[in-house]
Amino acid sequence: MTQTRREFFTTGAAVAGTITLLPFALRAEGHGADTFDTPAGKISVHPVNHASIVLETPKGTIYVDPVGDAAQYEGMPAPDLILITHEHGDHYNEETLQALVTDETQMIVNPAVMGKLTEGLKERASDVANGSVSEFNTLSIQAIPAYNTTEERMKFHPKGRDNGYVLNFEDFRIYISGDTEDIPEMRSLTDIDLAFVCMNLPFTMDANAAASAVSEFAPTYVYPYHYRGRDGGTQDPESFAKMIGGETEVKLGNWYS
């Protein structure tokens, strides 16, 4: 990405160096939205919790992996599109979907989740496998592989099952990692303007691996997310930020109130 491309994008949050951290009160108000001015129009990012994100975009409001109490989404626009990366309970919950889906909502899911949806939701869904492309309201959405490479972690996310996504707006590309380790398909991404990258153990990768991958594919902005693990596997997003090389700006959303 050229300097000119980077300078086009602005955010409503105050910047301190390469790390943007909204004060808690401001993050809590309005679900902590950062707004990016892009060639496609304004895109607002609302971190909800852990792996759940709401994106307000010129193509519609997009919910990513919505789970938990539907009250968390009060005040948000209803979803025009829901993206689901995989079947684990912190990414897919049937009860939450039933509470959020409207008559206008469409869904894009991986094939394994498609097989789990009840008939009513399945009628609103299309499945897309690794390496394939789907479309919503002229928005091209690529399914990027998401998987574990460390032998003892492969049971969590086997290769070929789960998705990450790249959303291709006009001259603005958003990458959502889903649950994955530091894989070649992530490192080979190009022209990513905004990324959401997971890091927790034992399920995905640590902050060092995440920072190494991000420094290589060099998005303009990156949100570390999905960083609470188990048995001491929680990763520190501020430590991750300090390891990022190049001009990538790290955004620290309020994922865990």
Handedness of CA 7, 42, 86, 255 (dihedral sign): positive
The total number of residues written for the chain in this structure: 257
CATH no. for 3-252: 3.60.15.10
Distance CA 95, CA 232 (A): 30
Contact criterion met (CB below 8 Å) for 225 and 204: no
Predicted confidence (pLDDT) per residue in 120-178, tens digit: 999 999 999 999 999 999 999 999 999 999 999 999 999 999 999 999 999 999 999 99
- Average pLDDT of the segment spanning 167-190: 97
CB 1 within 8 A of CB 38: no
**Over the stretch 77-125, which tens digit does the pLDDT of each residue have?**
999 999 999 999 999 999 999 999 999 999 999 999 999 999 999 999 9
Q: In whole numbers, what is the pLDDT of the chain averaged over residues?
A: 90
Q: How confident is the model at residue 31 (pLDDT cuts 50, 70, 90)?
A: low
- Domain parsing of the chain, residue ranges: 3-252
CB 86 within 8 A of CB 116: no
Torsion angle of alpha carbons 27, 52, 56, 194, nearest 10°?
90
Give the H or E element holding residue 62. Answer: strand 60-64
**Do 164 and 180 meet the contact criterion of CB atoms below 8 Å apart?**
yes
Better-scored residue on pLDDT, 22 or 197: 197
Q: How far is CA 77 from the centre of its chain?
A: 18
CA distance 24 to 254: 7
Count of C-beta atoms within a 10 Å radius of residue 247: 12
Residue 218 has pLDDT above 80, yes or no: yes
> Collapsing DSSP states into helix, strand and coil, what is residue 134?
strand
